[in-house]
Structure 1
Amino acid sequence: MSILKNKDYRIILKNFSYLSLLKVFNIGFKFVLVAYLIRVLGTEIYGVFTWADSILQFFLMFINFGFNVYAAKYIVDNRNNKKTIDEVVSSIYTIKTALFLISFLILFATSIFKPINQNFGLLFLMLFIGIGEVLFPIWFYQGMERLKTATIIVFFSRLFIVITTICLVKSSTDLYIYVSLIIASSIIMGVLGVYSLKKHYGINFRMVKKKTILNYFKAASMFFLGRFMLLVFNFGTIFLIGVYSTMDDVTGFDIASKIIMLAVIPFEMIQSAVFPTISRTLDKKLLKRLVLLGLVVGIVLMIGINMFTTPLLLLFGGQEILDYGPALQFLSILTPLTSVTFVLGSCALVAFGYFKEYNLSLLISSLFYIVIVLLLYLADEITFWNLIYLRVISEFVLVFIRTIFAVNKKILFSID
């Protein structure tokens, strides 16, 4: 009850509740779709889709350009300045639209490479999913600490894709139908997001000076670079598995990764809910509690995944995925690591204003991953299991670097 009397904690609880619902809708519907699609499309075709999606995520990150981190804090700092908020929103939409169009040029340019060329039609179609990335302003809702509207929009867009997929996707030849449904869902979500900005928040879209747009672009560039490199961990691994192994292995890794991500969702939601409050209050005690909570609960979840490996794989992937039990058990090490990573990233380094250190942690760990991949390539040792080992080791590196930065800046504790 004493916690509920604290205004900041009440805001956190409210945001966490809506974020919980938002993530439940996102992940819950996604797992329903995965379980259905693997059985309908088959592991190989689903693997092709997952491999193409791993490439798409780099384009979506390019379109987003780090604004999901940077813009949220900017909205927090200027929420009472309507003129500045209008300028920020208008600038971000202008930048994202330009990046979306540039993405098609990049796709055409990279189509000279064999893996891209072989799946160009699928990748070209999937790139239209970026419309939702351009239009849906999750960064605005997070910065304003008002996530109810976002939760409702996500729920209906996800419900749409689940219902239509089950009704229309019936065989292994229906992959393009499924992708078209994702695009439709993305457009619905984006259009509703823009509508809510106008109706509920009175946002006025206007022309912004070129210099101002460039300033926002430059400010977000380091966040883009860091988060773009971070995609290497998961989606780079999927891409490499697809090139050097089989599409069945892509499916196995994807299912295992989704189970791990399901386990760490509470901490992703917690850091998103707490981020605006810590940005305002710089509450180090709250931050320390979150880090400890992430570590302890993450270890418990890791043990749980190891105990229930077979039931989890049967539930989300079916009988054909059971061979990937050892991979899931090894990847379960990521649950405590990723939980702590979330908190140390946004709630520690970004919230306290250490943007450079936040991005450096991503860049260094990602460069470590890339260098090891190059060494494996030169030694002709890029294999399914070596990529899994590297995925976990890279997360260790990221946690270590962020911990060093947090201690050095006396955010967690000092070592004087």
Structure 2
Amino acid sequence: MFEKISFLSFSNLIRNRSIQNFLFLAIIQSSNVLISIISMPLLIQSIGVDQFGLVNLALSVIILLNIVVGFGYNLSAPREVAIHQKDKQALSHVVSNVFSGKILLAALCSLGVLVAVFGLDLFKEYQMILAFSVLLLFSEATLPLWFFQGMEKMKLISITNIFSKLLFLMGIVLFIHSPEQSRWVNFMLGGFGLSINLFLLVYIHDYLGIKFYRPEFDAIFKSLKSNVLFFFSNLASHISINGGLIILSFFSVAETLGMYSLAERVVMIIRLLPPMVFQAIIPRASALYKKDKKNFFSFLRKIHKSIVFTGLIISVFTHYLAPWIIEILSRSILNEAVEYLRVLAFVPFLASFNVVNVTILISADQRKLMFKASWLMCIFMVFVSFTLMYFFDGIGLCYGILATEFFIFLICTILLYRFDKSLIICFYGITENSDSIS
């Protein structure tokens, strides 16, 4: 009987839409990580470390522009879809305007890249790679992840995401065999993604009954205006976390870029732990913040201890296994990449400290504080990284990234203390009177 009850409880848990959404998001994230790990040695063997660095540099520029294409829609659009999911006409207008706005932004960003490359002769070392990479902007613009999140139907998009990445891997094996073909790497990634997205748009239109209307420019402009804070917060956070490779390109040669990008790719994979934990706990934390402050802080303390300990274990293992990791991924001994990875290995550990601060900020709905913290982090990262890189080259950038992770924890703590010092006092157990928080 107890076994039957346990089975029913587990069955009900799995059928819960929120749990399903989280699981399918985890599948998407995990598949992206796995494909990234598999593709690294294939690309390094095919195009060499220097071209691999340039491909990743072009990808970094495009990902930065994808923040512009997204313009906060990935945060605001799921809510709009969820509100109107039972009203097909209203939902059709929301979907049409979001896609129209993102495609318009993708076209403007693509035009900017092409003018910079062919008109102003910028990005000289990787001009053609970057020009061929603009297809990724339209892949981002047509990605309907936000729609399926709002509809709470994540199964299909998780399957199609895996399929598009497998096509990309197959494309590398079949078509990328020499450094001269490096321009096609990001092109294939964008092309396969765009093809799958178009299939999903057909599914949304034909099977879900969503109509695509002409762009309503007033509604698009209104949505862009309302997403400004989301956009700038995302932009600042992205520059701080992922902008190192672009900064390094001002000082170093292609081979150094390749060494750093290899180490950075590994670190970006293991750094997924803090944001995934945040996404998992934020619904419960938000509910507890409103209803039960005492349990809210008790819950956060448990999470804090677990994630910091896990982050420490991951960082220590990555530090000591760095030579083996680099050799497995590159199939060669790259001492410079090992040196970078040993320093960057402690990024997940330092990043894990700030999960609680961000959770409190979001639970308290402090968007302006998030915006301020993001831009202070961005300014600090750019200044410190440029300074350290000027004197110490690539390894200086690594220490700059570590300093940034510590700085954002410090800044968020200070901002929270100034906003409501009882939040910090109660979390760290300086007083046990957590019930007094209003």
TM-score range, shorter chain: 0.7 to 0.9
The yes-or-no answer on 1:326 pairing with 2:339 is yes
Cross-structure match for 2:131? 124
CA RMSD of aligned residues (A): 3.2
> What's the offset of the Cα at 1:359?
1.8
Cross-structure match for 1:395? 405
Letter in 2 for 1:116: F
Distance 1:275 1:193 in 2: 29
> What's the offset of the Cα at 1:31?
1.3
1:4-43: CA deviations, max 9, x gaps? 5996995554333222221221111121111111111111
Alpha-carbon spacing, 1:351–1:332, altered in 2? closer, same or farther (3 Å): same
**SS across alignment from 2:123:** helix
Choose the corresponding residue for 1:156, options 158, 163, 169: 163
1:360-411: CA deviations, max 9, x gaps? 221110011233356568xx53721221111111121222233444564566
The yes-or-no answer on 1:361 pairing with 2:368 is no
TM (normalized to structure 1)?
0.87
> What's the offset of the Cα at 1:162?
0.6
Alpha-carbon spacing, 1:78–1:390, altered in 2? closer, same or farther (3 Å): farther
> What's the offset of the Cα at 1:265?
2.8
Select the structure of larger CA radius of gyration: 2
Cross-structure match for 2:78? 72
> What's the offset of the Cα at 1:210?
3.1
Alpha-carbon spacing, 1:259–1:172, altered in 2? closer, same or farther (3 Å): same
Letter in 2 for 1:392: L
TM (normalized to structure 2)?
0.83
**Structure 2 unaligned spans of 5+:** 1-5, 291-295, 431-436
The yes-or-no answer on 1:249 pairing with 2:256 is yes
Query: Conserved in 1, the CA contact under 8 Å of 2:47 and 2:180?
Result: yes
**SS across alignment from 1:170:** coil
Query: Conserved in 2, the CA contact under 8 Å of 1:302 and 1:332?
Result: yes
Cross-structure match for 1:349? 361
Query: Where does structure 1 differ by over 6 angstroms across 4 or more consecutive aligned residues?
Result: 5-9
Distance 1:153 1:144 in 2: 17
1:166-206: CA deviations, max 9, x gaps? 11212222213323322221212321332343355433333
Query: Conserved in 2, the CA contact under 8 Å of 1:145 and 1:276?
Result: no
Query: Conserved in 2, the CA contact under 8 Å of 1:157 and 1:189?
Result: yes
Distance 2:350 2:108 in 1: 35
Letter in 1 for 2:219: T
Distance 2:414 2:85 in 1: 32
Alpha-carbon spacing, 1:186–1:358, altered in 2? closer, same or farther (3 Å): same
Identity of aligned residues (%): 17
Distance 1:146 1:121 in 2: 38
Query: Conserved in 2, the CA contact under 8 Å of 1:73 and 1:276?
Result: no
> What's the offset of the Cα at 1:215?
1.8
Query: Conserved in 2, the CA contact under 8 Å of 1:76 and 1:276?
Result: no
Cross-structure match for 2:34? 28
Distance 1:342 1:195 in 2: 38
> What's the offset of the Cα at 1:278?
5.4
1:37-70: CA deviations, max 9, x gaps? 1111111111111122221222111111122223
**Structure 1 unaligned spans of 5+:** none
Distance 2:91 2:415 in 1: 31
Alpha-carbon spacing, 1:5–1:149, altered in 2? closer, same or farther (3 Å): closer
Alpha-carbon spacing, 1:123–1:195, altered in 2? closer, same or farther (3 Å): same
> What's the offset of the Cα at 1:334?
0.8
Choose the corresponding residue for 1:381, options 365, 388, 391: 391
Query: Conserved in 2, the CA contact under 8 Å of 1:55 and 1:239?
Result: yes
Distance 1:358 1:118 in 2: 36
**SS across alignment from 2:227:** helix
Cross-structure match for 1:220? 227
Alpha-carbon spacing, 1:245–1:109, altered in 2? closer, same or farther (3 Å): same
Give the paired residue count: 413
Alpha-carbon spacing, 1:153–1:198, altered in 2? closer, same or farther (3 Å): same
Alpha-carbon spacing, 1:13–1:129, altered in 2? closer, same or farther (3 Å): same
